[in-house]
Amino acid sequence: MTIQAVLFDIGGVLLRTEDQEPRRKWERKLGLPARGLAEAVFNCETALLATVGKATQQDVWRAVAERFRLDDAKLRDLQRDFWAGDRLDDQLLRYLADLRPRYKTGILSNAWPGIRALYAQWFGLTDDLVDVMIYSGEVGVMKPDARIYHLALDRLGVPAASVVFVDDVIENVAGAQAVGMRALHFTSPAQAMAALAEILASGPAVR
Protein backbone atom coordinates (compact mmCIF):
# COMPACT_ATOMS: atom_id res chain seq x y z
CA MET A 1 0.00 0.00 0.00
CA THR A 2 1.16 3.53 -0.77
CA ILE A 3 2.54 5.40 2.25
CA GLN A 4 0.26 8.20 3.41
CA ALA A 5 1.68 9.10 6.84
CA VAL A 6 4.90 9.11 8.87
CA LEU A 7 4.97 8.92 12.68
CA PHE A 8 7.99 9.74 14.86
CA ASP A 9 8.76 9.07 18.50
CA ILE A 10 10.32 11.98 20.42
CA GLY A 11 12.59 10.75 23.24
CA GLY A 12 15.59 8.94 21.81
CA VAL A 13 14.71 10.02 18.26
CA LEU A 14 13.83 13.70 17.76
CA LEU A 15 15.11 14.56 21.24
CA ARG A 16 18.21 12.78 22.51
CA THR A 17 20.50 13.06 25.54
CA GLU A 18 23.70 13.98 23.70
CA ASP A 19 25.66 15.03 26.80
CA GLN A 20 25.55 12.43 29.58
CA GLU A 21 27.94 14.24 31.91
CA PRO A 22 25.28 16.20 33.90
CA ARG A 23 23.59 12.88 34.72
CA ARG A 24 26.89 11.09 35.32
CA LYS A 25 27.71 13.72 37.96
CA TRP A 26 24.64 12.65 39.91
CA GLU A 27 25.27 8.97 39.29
CA ARG A 28 28.65 9.37 40.95
CA LYS A 29 27.09 11.24 43.87
CA LEU A 30 24.33 8.66 44.33
CA GLY A 31 26.42 5.57 43.71
CA LEU A 32 24.56 4.59 40.55
CA PRO A 33 25.97 2.86 37.46
CA ALA A 34 26.16 4.56 34.07
CA ARG A 35 22.62 5.29 32.83
CA GLY A 36 21.37 4.40 36.30
CA LEU A 37 19.83 7.80 36.93
CA ALA A 38 17.63 7.60 33.83
CA GLU A 39 16.59 4.11 34.92
CA ALA A 40 15.73 5.39 38.41
CA VAL A 41 13.67 8.28 37.05
CA PHE A 42 11.91 6.78 34.03
CA ASN A 43 11.29 3.26 35.29
CA CYS A 44 10.24 3.82 38.87
CA GLU A 45 6.67 2.80 39.67
CA THR A 46 5.45 6.41 39.87
CA ALA A 47 6.96 7.26 36.47
CA LEU A 48 5.21 4.32 34.85
CA LEU A 49 1.93 5.50 36.37
CA ALA A 50 2.61 9.01 35.04
CA THR A 51 3.25 7.62 31.57
CA VAL A 52 -0.39 6.53 31.45
CA GLY A 53 -1.70 9.68 33.15
CA LYS A 54 -2.20 8.21 36.63
CA ALA A 55 0.44 10.38 38.32
CA THR A 56 1.99 13.78 37.69
CA GLN A 57 5.51 14.95 36.95
CA GLN A 58 5.61 16.34 40.46
CA ASP A 59 4.72 12.89 41.83
CA VAL A 60 7.61 11.36 39.91
CA TRP A 61 10.17 13.82 41.21
CA ARG A 62 8.81 13.48 44.73
CA ALA A 63 9.38 9.72 44.50
CA VAL A 64 12.93 10.31 43.24
CA ALA A 65 13.60 12.73 46.10
CA GLU A 66 12.32 10.22 48.64
CA ARG A 67 14.41 7.39 47.24
CA PHE A 68 17.64 9.41 47.30
CA ARG A 69 16.78 11.52 50.36
CA LEU A 70 17.09 14.83 48.55
CA ASP A 71 15.89 18.10 50.02
CA ASP A 72 14.07 20.62 47.83
CA ALA A 73 17.21 22.49 46.76
CA LYS A 74 19.08 19.33 45.77
CA LEU A 75 16.05 18.03 43.91
CA ARG A 76 15.85 21.24 41.88
CA ASP A 77 19.55 20.86 41.03
CA LEU A 78 19.03 17.25 39.98
CA GLN A 79 16.06 18.14 37.78
CA ARG A 80 18.05 20.90 36.08
CA ASP A 81 20.99 18.60 35.42
CA PHE A 82 18.82 15.67 34.38
CA TRP A 83 17.54 17.54 31.32
CA ALA A 84 20.68 19.63 30.69
CA GLY A 85 22.18 17.25 28.15
CA ASP A 86 19.06 16.91 25.99
CA ARG A 87 19.22 18.24 22.44
CA LEU A 88 16.48 18.54 19.85
CA ASP A 89 17.68 17.24 16.48
CA ASP A 90 17.06 20.21 14.17
CA GLN A 91 17.98 18.21 11.07
CA LEU A 92 15.43 15.49 11.80
CA LEU A 93 12.86 18.10 12.73
CA ARG A 94 13.34 19.84 9.37
CA TYR A 95 13.10 16.47 7.64
CA LEU A 96 9.80 15.77 9.39
CA ALA A 97 8.46 19.25 8.57
CA ASP A 98 9.45 18.87 4.91
CA LEU A 99 7.35 15.72 4.56
CA ARG A 100 4.24 17.88 4.65
CA PRO A 101 1.98 18.35 2.78
CA ARG A 102 2.88 15.27 0.70
CA TYR A 103 2.38 13.06 3.76
CA LYS A 104 0.45 13.33 6.98
CA THR A 105 2.82 13.45 9.91
CA GLY A 106 2.59 12.77 13.61
CA ILE A 107 4.38 12.33 16.91
CA LEU A 108 3.60 9.34 19.13
CA SER A 109 5.43 9.49 22.45
CA ASN A 110 5.38 7.82 25.84
CA ALA A 111 5.51 10.88 28.09
CA TRP A 112 4.20 12.23 31.38
CA PRO A 113 1.29 14.67 31.71
CA GLY A 114 2.33 18.25 31.09
CA ILE A 115 5.14 17.41 28.68
CA ARG A 116 3.37 19.09 25.76
CA ALA A 117 3.66 22.50 27.45
CA LEU A 118 7.25 21.86 28.55
CA TYR A 119 8.41 20.81 25.09
CA ALA A 120 6.78 23.93 23.65
CA GLN A 121 8.51 26.09 26.28
CA TRP A 122 11.94 24.45 26.13
CA PHE A 123 12.24 23.57 22.45
CA GLY A 124 9.48 25.39 20.58
CA LEU A 125 7.93 22.00 19.79
CA THR A 126 4.36 23.13 19.10
CA ASP A 127 1.28 21.31 17.85
CA ASP A 128 1.45 22.86 14.39
CA LEU A 129 4.68 20.98 13.64
CA VAL A 130 2.68 17.88 12.69
CA ASP A 131 -0.88 16.81 11.92
CA VAL A 132 -1.21 14.67 15.05
CA MET A 133 0.69 14.84 18.36
CA ILE A 134 -0.12 12.12 20.90
CA TYR A 135 1.40 11.80 24.37
CA SER A 136 0.62 8.68 26.38
CA GLY A 137 0.15 10.59 29.64
CA GLU A 138 -2.70 12.52 28.05
CA VAL A 139 -4.52 9.53 26.54
CA GLY A 140 -4.01 6.96 29.30
CA VAL A 141 -2.27 4.26 27.27
CA MET A 142 1.37 3.77 26.30
CA LYS A 143 3.41 2.04 23.62
CA PRO A 144 3.61 -0.85 22.87
CA ASP A 145 -0.09 -1.27 23.74
CA ALA A 146 -1.98 -1.67 20.46
CA ARG A 147 -4.60 0.86 21.54
CA ILE A 148 -2.26 3.83 21.25
CA TYR A 149 -1.31 2.92 17.68
CA HIS A 150 -4.98 2.54 16.75
CA LEU A 151 -5.67 5.93 18.31
CA ALA A 152 -2.97 7.47 16.11
CA LEU A 153 -4.47 5.80 13.04
CA ASP A 154 -7.94 7.10 13.92
CA ARG A 155 -6.65 10.65 14.33
CA LEU A 156 -4.63 10.50 11.11
CA GLY A 157 -7.54 8.93 9.25
CA VAL A 158 -5.37 6.41 7.42
CA PRO A 159 -5.02 2.60 7.39
CA ALA A 160 -2.15 0.96 9.29
CA ALA A 161 -0.44 -0.36 6.18
CA SER A 162 -0.05 3.20 4.87
CA VAL A 163 1.94 4.41 7.91
CA VAL A 164 5.67 4.34 8.67
CA PHE A 165 6.58 4.62 12.37
CA VAL A 166 10.07 5.46 13.69
CA ASP A 167 11.06 4.59 17.28
CA ASP A 168 14.29 3.82 19.14
CA VAL A 169 12.74 1.16 21.40
CA ILE A 170 12.50 -2.22 19.72
CA GLU A 171 9.39 -3.22 21.71
CA ASN A 172 7.58 -0.14 20.40
CA VAL A 173 8.67 -0.96 16.85
CA ALA A 174 7.27 -4.47 17.29
CA GLY A 175 4.03 -3.03 18.69
CA ALA A 176 3.57 -0.88 15.59
CA GLN A 177 4.30 -3.83 13.31
CA ALA A 178 1.76 -5.93 15.20
CA VAL A 179 -1.04 -3.54 14.21
CA GLY A 180 0.08 -3.50 10.58
CA MET A 181 2.29 -0.42 10.36
CA ARG A 182 5.69 -0.37 8.71
CA ALA A 183 8.13 0.42 11.49
CA LEU A 184 11.79 1.42 11.64
CA HIS A 185 14.11 0.88 14.59
CA PHE A 186 15.95 4.20 14.97
CA THR A 187 19.70 3.96 15.55
CA SER A 188 20.88 7.28 14.07
CA PRO A 189 19.47 10.21 12.09
CA ALA A 190 21.35 9.18 8.95
CA GLN A 191 20.10 5.59 9.18
CA ALA A 192 16.49 6.66 9.77
CA MET A 193 16.42 9.22 6.96
CA ALA A 194 18.02 6.79 4.51
CA ALA A 195 15.56 4.03 5.40
CA LEU A 196 12.60 6.39 5.16
CA ALA A 197 13.76 7.74 1.83
CA GLU A 198 13.89 4.21 0.47
CA ILE A 199 10.39 3.41 1.69
CA LEU A 200 8.88 6.69 0.50
CA ALA A 201 10.50 6.33 -2.91
CA SER A 202 8.53 3.12 -3.50
CA GLY A 203 5.42 5.01 -4.59
CA PRO A 204 3.70 8.41 -4.84
CA ALA A 205 2.36 10.10 -1.74
CA VAL A 206 -1.41 10.10 -1.26
CA ARG A 207 -2.83 13.01 0.74
pLDDT in tens, 122-161: 999 999 999 999 999 999 999 999 999 999 999 999 999 9
Co-location of 10 and 112 in the same domain: yes
Assigned domain for 65 exists: yes
Assigned domain for 34 exists: yes
Looking at 65, 84, 103, the residue that finishes a domain is 84
Give me the percent of the chain exceeding a pLDDT of 70. 98
Mean pLDDT of 188-201: 95
Computed over every residue of the chain, the mean pLDDT equals 95
Mean pLDDT of 63-83: 98
Q: Which CATH number covers residue 141? A: 3.40.50.1000
Domain count for the chain: 2
State residue 206's pLDDT score: 44
Euclidean distance between CA atoms 185 and 166, whole angstroms: 6
| Per-residue b or e along 123-160, where b marks 16 or more CB atoms closer than 10 Å to that residue's CB | bebeeebbbbbbbbbbeebbbbbeebbebbbebbebeb
Closest CA to 174 of 197, 136, 144: 144
Q: How far does Cα 134 stand from its chain's mean position?
A: 10
Looking at 59, 84, 109, the residue that finishes a domain is 84
Which CA distances in Å does 205 have to 47, 137, 202? 39, 31, 9
State residue 1's pLDDT score: 79
State residue 149's pLDDT score: 98
Confidence grade of residue 22 (pLDDT, cut at 50, 70, 90): very high
Domain residues for the domain of 141 are 5-16+88-200
Mean pLDDT of 159-164: 98
Q: What is the pTM of this model?
A: 0.93
Closest CA to 39 of 16, 64, 18: 64
pLDDT at position 204 over 60 = no
Co-location of 92 and 62 in the same domain: no
Co-location of 120 and 77 in the same domain: no
Give me the percent of the chain exceeding a pLDDT of 90. 95
State residue 202's pLDDT score: 76
Looking at 61, 84, 107, the residue that finishes a domain is 84
Assigned domain for 206 exists: no
State residue 203's pLDDT score: 57
Per-residue pLDDT reduced to its tens digit, 77-129 = 999 999 999 999 999 999 999 999 999 999 999 999 999 999 999 999 999 99
